[in-house]
Amino acid sequence: MLLVIPRVLGTRQLQQARALLDQGHFVDGRLSAGKSARRVKNNEELHANASQMQQLNALVMGALVDHPLYQAAALPHRVATPFYARYTPGMTYGDHVDDPIMGPPGGHYRTDVSTTVFLNEPEDYEGGELVVRTPFGEQRVKQPAGDAVVYPSSSLHHVAEVRAGERLVAVTWTQSMVRNPQQRELLYELYQTREALLEKQPDAEETTRIDHVYVNLVRMWAEL
Ligand code: NI
């Protein structure tokens, strides 16, 4: 499942995030790449001082982790500190699959869900779509600033070459309580149905039963 979550960051948060990005400097993204990704990765990553990084992470991750759709779709157990990536003309990130295990020794986590948060507007650059291969074909994603997209970390994906302007994104990974992407997708469908029922007929017997099934499926499938 590839899911776009609109307006995770609001206008003010985006202004603050971009001001912080302006203060840092960017280094070659290959430094943080695994062995096979290094061959196809051509972008830059923010190298900021600790206080800028802390503020950025609080802004971006605070908003993402609090978002009910992210919670429902990713069912997060552990969430990684994000990277802030910049693509200028000629830069691209070729077809790859994200590393299965990330984090420092002692702080390892499994990557189940990949997230990109768009930090500038689609009009600010040409190209630069996130292209994810799904069972139903390629999905090309280029969203307004503040939107996030989540997709299974097991998917093959790439970032199309930026031909003009500058693409700014935050990328992060989640270890989900529910490892299996099909199970997460079913839970997300059921969650949406439950939300709609709670809205339309909160006192109906069917609503109680769907709620019961949803909650107990999460309990059955979640691993901590
Ligand atoms: Ni990737």
**pLDDT < 50 regions, the chain:** none
Q: How far is the CA of 38 from the centre of ligand 1 (A)?
A: 11
Rounded distance, CA 25 to CA 46, Å? 6
Domain shared by 86 and 151, yes or no: yes
Q: How far is the CA of 153 from the centre of ligand 1 (A)?
A: 8
Residue 214 domain boundaries: 181-221
- Provide the residues around ligand 1 (an ion) whose CB is within 5 A: 98
Exposed, middle or buried: residue 179 (CB in 10 Å: 0-12, 13-18, 19+)?
Answer: middle
Q: How far is the CA of 39 from the centre of ligand 1 (A)?
A: 13
Domain shared by 86 and 67, yes or no: yes
**In the numeric block, which tokens belong to residue 15?**
């202004």
Rounded distance, CA 22 to CA 18, Å? 6
pLDDT tens by residue, 89-101 = 999 999 999 999 9
DSSP conformation class of 11: H
Domain shared by 136 and 108, yes or no: yes
> Which CATH number do you get for residue 170?
2.60.120.620
Q: How far is the CA of 58 from the centre of ligand 1 (A)?
A: 22
Domain shared by 204 and 148, yes or no: no
Domain shared by 161 and 73, yes or no: yes
Domain shared by 120 and 213, yes or no: no
Amino acid 45: pLDDT: 95
Amino acid 84: pLDDT: 96
Rounded distance, CA 206 to CA 147, Å? 33
Closest to 45 (Cα-Cα) out of 83, 80, 81, 93: 83
Amino acid 49: pLDDT: 84
Q: How far is the CA of 128 from the centre of ligand 1 (A)?
A: 13
Domain shared by 108 and 43, yes or no: yes
CA 42 to chain centre: 19
Q: How far is the CA of 157 from the centre of ligand 1 (A)?
A: 6
Q: How far is the CA of 196 from the centre of ligand 1 (A)?
A: 33
